[in-house]
C-alpha cells in the first residue's frame, strides 16, 4: 500500500511561491504559466494548502468541468456561499486553459466583474500550460485578472534529484541504483512528469530504458502539445537567430525548454521530435485524408473544408476558381446552389484552422476576382 503523497520542497517552488504570496499580499491577482504537462496541479494544490493553513486566505477551487455557471449571478452565489468570515477569498483556477474553450471564455468577464465589485474581499489565481495571452479575447480589458504573470519553468537537475529522492522513492518504498538514478535524471529534461514515469517503470519492472512504451507515450504527449512553430524552433537549436524576435521563441525561453545557449533543455524530447515530426511541416494527401506530419487534419475539418483543401492541393500554385470550388462542395446542381459568399466564408474558416496548426496564412492565397490558390 502506498504511503501518503509527500510534497517536494524544491528550491524553485519555494522561490516562486514566495512571489505569488507577495502579490496576493499586495491585493493583486496572480497568473502562472507552467511548462506543458508538468506538475501544475500539484504545485497549485501545494500552494493552496499552505495559504489556507498559514495565511488569512480562503482558496476556492474553480473547475469549469465540474462547476458550470450559466450566468454571472450563478458564479456570484457560488463565491458568496464559499466565502469565510475574516478571510479573503481567492478563486483558484488550476487549469486556466479550460477557460480558453469557447463555452468558458465568459468566465473571464464574470471574474473581472466580481473582483471589481468585491475587490477588498476577493482575488484570483490562475494557472496555464500555454501562451494564453494570444488566446484570450479582449485580454487588455481584464485589468484586475492579469495584474502579475509568473513563468514557472522546467526544473534544474538538483530539484529533479530532490523530487526523486525525497518524494518518489519514500512514497513508493523503492530503492534506485545510482546508475539508474543518473539515467532518469538525464532523460527527464527538468520534467517531474517524465521523472515520475521513469521511476514508476523501474518500480514495476526493476529496469528502465527510454524505449519503454509508457515512457514513449509521455514523450509523445509533451511533443504533441508543442505548436508546430515551437517544434520547428527546437529542431533548429542552437542556431536560432532568425527566431529571436518571435513570440514562440520567447515563450520557450520563459518556460525553460531553451537554455541560455539556445540549446534544447530536453535532448531526449528533441530526439523524439526529430524522429517523429517533419521539419518541412507540409500538408500531404494520404488516401482519403489530409495529413500534416503525423496529424490527421481531415478529422478537424468539415466535409466542405476537406473538399476545398483537397481541390486546392491537387492544383498547387495554380488558381482554383470559385466555380471549381462550387463543384467540389455541392457536386450536383452547383450552379443552382452557387454562393460566392458561402465559398469565401468556407475558405476563410479553412485558412483560420490551418493557421492554428502553424501554417502561414498565405498557404491559401486569395486571388481577386478568380478564387483561391494553394501555395505549397
Q: How far apart are CA 243 and CA 256, in angstroms?
A: 16
DSSP 3-state assignment of 246? coil
Looking at residue 1, its pLDDT comes to 47
Domain ranges across the chain: 11-151, 157-276, 283-374
pLDDT, one tens digit for every residue, the chain (376 residues): 455 556 778 999 999 999 999 999 999 999 999 999 989 999 999 999 999 988 889 999 998 878 888 899 999 999 999 988 889 999 999 999 999 988 899 999 999 999 999 999 999 999 999 999 988 989 999 999 999 999 999 999 999 999 999 999 999 999 999 999 999 999 999 999 999 999 999 999 999 999 999 999 999 889 888 888 898 899 999 999 999 999 999 999 999 999 999 999 999 999 998 887 665 667 888 888 888 876 788 888 888 899 999 999 999 889 999 889 988 888 777 676 778 888 889 899 999 888 887 788 889 999 988 999 998 7
Q: Give which of 42, 20, 266, 43 is closest to 157, Cα–Cα.
A: 266
How far lies 170's CA from each of 176, 193, 301, in Å?
Answer: 11, 17, 48
CB 151 within 8 A of CB 128: no
What pLDDT sits at residue 87? 92
Q: How many CB atoms lie within 10 A of CB 77?
A: 12
Residue 19 burial by Cβ neighbours in a 10 Å radius (0-12, 13-18, 19+): middle
Q: How far apart are the first and last CA of the chain?
A: 57
Single pTM value for the model: 0.74
Where do we find the cell 525561453? Answer: 253
Rounded to whole angstroms, the Cα distance separating 99 from 85 reads: 28
In whole angstroms, give the CA distance from residue 47 to residue 224.
29
Element containing residue 329 per DSSP (H, E)? helix 322-330
Tell me which residue of 125, 132, 131, 91 sits closest to 23, measured CA to CA: 125
pLDDT of residue 203: 96
C-alpha to C-alpha distance for 287 and 285, rounded to whole angstroms: 6
* Phi and psi, residue 294, nearest 5°: -105, 10
Please give the pLDDT value at position 96.
95
Q: Does domain 11-151 have CATH number 3.10.310.10?
A: no
In the prediction, which pLDDT does 5 show? 58
Q: Do domains 11-151 and 283-374 have the same CATH topology?
A: no
* Domain topology for 283-374: Arc Repressor Mutant, subunit A (1.10.10)
Which among 114, 121, 111 is positioned nearest to 31, based on CA atoms? Answer: 111
Amino acid at each position: 500500500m502506498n504511503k501518503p503523497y509527500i510534497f517536494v520542497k524544491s528550491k524553485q517552488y519555494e522561490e516562486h511561491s514566495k512571489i505569488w504570496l507577495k502579490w496576493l499580499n499586495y491585493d493583486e491577482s496572480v497568473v502562472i504559466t507552467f511548462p506543458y504537462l508538468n506538475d501544475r496541479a500539484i504545485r497549485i494544490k501545494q500552494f493552496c494548502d499552505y495559504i489556507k493553513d498559514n495565511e488569512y486566505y480562503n482558496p476556492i477551487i474553480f473547475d469549469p468541468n465540474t462547476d458550470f455557471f450559466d450566468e454571472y449571478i450563478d458564479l456570484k452565489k457560488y463565491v458568496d456561499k464559499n466565502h469565510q468570515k475574516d478571510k479573503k477569498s481567492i478563486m483558484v483556477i488550476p487549469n486556466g486553459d479550460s477557460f480558453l474553450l469557447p463555452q468558458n471564455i465568459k468566465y473571464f468577464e464574470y471574474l473581472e466583474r466580481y473582483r471589481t465589485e468585491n475587490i477588498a474581499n476577493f482575488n484570483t489565481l490562475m494557472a496555464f500550460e500555454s501562451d494564453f495571452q494570444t488566446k484570450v479575447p479582449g485580454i487588455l480589458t481584464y485589468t484586475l485578472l492579469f495584474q502579475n504573470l509568473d513563468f514557472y519553468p522546467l526544473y534544474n537537475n538538483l530539484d529533479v534529484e530532490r523530487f526523486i529522492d525525497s518524494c518518489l522513492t519514500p512514497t513508493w518504498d523503492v530503492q534506485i541504483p545510482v546508475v539508474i538514478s543518473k539515467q532518469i535524471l538525464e532523460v527527464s529534461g527538468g520534467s517531474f512528469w517524465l521523472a515520475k514515469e521513469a521511476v514508476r517503470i523501474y518500480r514495476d519492472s526493476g529496469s528502465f530504458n527510454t524505449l519503454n512504451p509508457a515512457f514513449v507515450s509521455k514523450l509523445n504527449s509533451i511533443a504533441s502539445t508543442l505548436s508546430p512553430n515551437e517544434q520547428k524552433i527546437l529542431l533548429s537549436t542552437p542556431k536560432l537567430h532568425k527566431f529571436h524576435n518571435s513570440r514562440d521563441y520567447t515563450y520557450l525561453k520563459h518556460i525553460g525548454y531553451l537554455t541560455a545557449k539556445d540549446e534544447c533543455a530536453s535532448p531526449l524530447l528533441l530526439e523524439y521530435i526529430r524522429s517523429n515530426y517533419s521539419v518541412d511541416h507540409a500538408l500531404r494527401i494520404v488516401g482519403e485524408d489530409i495529413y500534416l506530419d503525423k496529424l490527421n487534419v481531415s478529422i478537424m475539418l468539415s466535409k466542405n473544408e476537406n473538399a476545398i483543401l483537397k481541390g486546392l492541393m491537387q492544383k498547387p500554385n495554380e488558381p482554383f476558381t470559385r466555380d471549381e470550388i462550387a463543384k467540389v462542395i455541392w457536386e450536383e446542381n452547383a450552379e443552382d446552389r452557387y454562393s460566392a459568399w458561402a465559398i469565401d466564408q468556407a475558405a476563410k474558416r479553412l485558412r483560420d484552422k490551418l493557421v492554428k496548426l502553424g501554417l502561414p496564412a498565405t498557404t491559401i492565397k486569395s486571388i481577386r476576382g478568380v478564387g483561391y490558390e494553394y501555395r505549397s
